[in-house]
Amino acid sequence: MKSLRILAIAAVALAIFAVDAEAQKKTTRKTSTRKSTTATKVIAPLEVRAAREKVQTQKDNVTFYIQQLGPIANALETLEPAYVEKRLNRTNQAKHEQRKASFVSTVRNIRQELVMLEAEFRTKGALQRYSTSLSGIADIAAESEDLAIAAKFVEANARLRDVEKKLVDTLMMLPR
C-alpha cells in the first residue's frame, strides 16, 4: 500500500509538471504564402523616371527665371513709357533695348525647352497618359513670349507662373 501511495503521488507530480511543460510550449502557426502589398514597392519604368527628372529640371529652371525676371520685368515696364517717348538719353535707351532683348531671348529659350518636353510626352507611349496635365505649356510659353515682345513684361512673367503650376501638377501625377 505504501508503494501504491508513492506511485500515486509520483503520478500526480508528473501530471502537474507535464501540464506546466505543455503551457510553456509555443504553438507555431503555418504562415500563409501571400505577399503583403505594403511591403512591395512598385518602381516606375525607366522612361517615366527619366521624364520625371526632366519635368523637375524644367520646373526648377522656370522657377529660377520667374524669380530672376520678376524684378527685371518691373523695371523694364516702369522705364518703357520713357523709352517710347524718347525721354531717356542714348546710353539708357541702348541699355533698355539690350535688357528687353535679353528678356525676350530668355523667355524664348524657356519656350523652346518646354516645346521639346511637351512633344516628348505626346510621342512616347509610356508618357502619353501623363501628357494631359502637361499639355498647353508650350502655348502658354508662346503667349509669354508674345507678351514680352509687346513690352508687357510683368504679364509675361505671370504667364510663366502658369507654366510652373502645370509642371508641378505633372510632377504630382508622375510616379517616383
Write down the pTM of the prediction. 0.68
pLDDT digits (tens, 9 = 90+) for 1-58: 666 566 567 655 555 665 555 555 566 666 655 555 555 566 667 888 888 999 999 9
Residue of 67, 71, 65, 58 whose CA lies nearest to 119 = 58
Residue 124 three-state SS: coil
pLDDT digits (tens, 9 = 90+) for 108-149: 999 999 999 999 988 888 888 888 888 899 999 999 999 999
Residue of 86, 92, 85, 72 whose CA lies nearest to 153 = 72
Which residue's entry shows cell 503521488?
A: 9
Residue of 132, 127, 67, 78 whose CA lies nearest to 100 = 78
CATH 1.10.3470 assigned to domain 46-173? The reply is no
Q: What is the DSSP code string of 84-97? A: HTT-S-HHHHHHHH
Please state the domain extents for the chain.
46-173
